[in-house]
């Protein structure tokens, strides 16, 4: 749902969710990133994945990356994404990263607005990804020295646990 109108419908409609679930399990098994699940009274609300920055030009710098924040659409705009983002920042800062980066599709105005409201700004880097059609992604960056403690969200998770 988050990518409808951005990524071609034909690509989204062709996704094999069983295969994607298997790839997700395989990525968890590699241990390269850390994935956390937000759970509430209604079950899984969403998840956060963080890790070392994967951008070669930033290798060796104290830069962590928010690899992804995903919420079930029924949990959008309730403060849960903000909570997950702040928790990711706190965890990256606790691992001695001084900055966090993340990638957003250029045309995803909702995500761009969210991250800008969270204090992220573009740093000039871009790349082209091909989820069914070439799409430009832009990198956002934020200093972590000012990461605020997580604030409660509406329908806040009762737990955020590592997978």
Paired residues of 8 in beta bridges: none
In a domain? residue 111: yes
The C-alpha atoms of residue 3 and residue 73 are separated, in whole angstroms, by 11
In a domain? residue 84: yes
The C-alpha atoms of residue 147 and residue 87 are separated, in whole angstroms, by 9
Q: What is the CATH number of the domain that holds 78?
A: 3.40.630.30
In a domain? residue 56: yes
In a domain? residue 67: yes
pLDDT digits (tens, 9 = 90+) for 4-61: 677 777 777 777 778 877 877 887 788 778 999 888 888 889 999 999 999 999 999 9
* Res 123 pLDDT > 70: yes
In which band, very low, low, confident or very high, does the pLDDT at 87 lie, cut at 50, 70 and 90? very high
In which band, very low, low, confident or very high, does the pLDDT at 150 lie, cut at 50, 70 and 90? very low
- Containing domain of residue 56, as a range? 9-162
In a domain? residue 4: no
* Res 163 pLDDT > 50: no
Question: How far apart are the two ends of the chain, measured CA to CA in Å?
Answer: 24
Average per-residue pLDDT for the chain: 84
Buried b (16+ CB within 10 A) or exposed e, 90-118: ebbbeeebebbbbbbbeebeebbebbeeb
In a domain? residue 1: no
pLDDT digits (tens, 9 = 90+) for 62-73: 999 999 999 988
In a domain? residue 32: yes
In a domain? residue 131: yes
The C-alpha atoms of residue 142 and residue 160 are separated, in whole angstroms, by 23
Predicted structure pTM score: 0.80
């Amino acid at each position: 749902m988050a990518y409808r109108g951005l990524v071609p419908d034909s690509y989204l409609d062709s996704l094999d969710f069983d295969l994607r679930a298997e790839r997700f399990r395989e990525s968890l098994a590699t241990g390269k990133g850390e994935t956390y699940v937000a759970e509430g009274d209604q079950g899984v609300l969403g998840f956060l994945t963080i890790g070392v920055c994967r951008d070669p030009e930033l290798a060796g710098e104290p830069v962590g990356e928010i690899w992804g924040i995903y919420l079930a659409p029924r949990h959008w705009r309730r403060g849960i994404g903000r909570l997950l983002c702040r928790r990711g920042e706190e965890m990256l800062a606790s691992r001695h990263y001084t900055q966090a980066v993340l990638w957003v599709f250029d045309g995803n105005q909702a995500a761009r607005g969210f991250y800008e409201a969270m204090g992220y700004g573009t740093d000039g880097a871009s790349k082209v990804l091909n989820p069914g059609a070439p799409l430009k992604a832009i990198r956002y960056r934020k200093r972590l020295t000012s990461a605020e403690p997580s604030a409660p969200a509406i329908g806040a998770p009762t737990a955020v646990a590592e997978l």
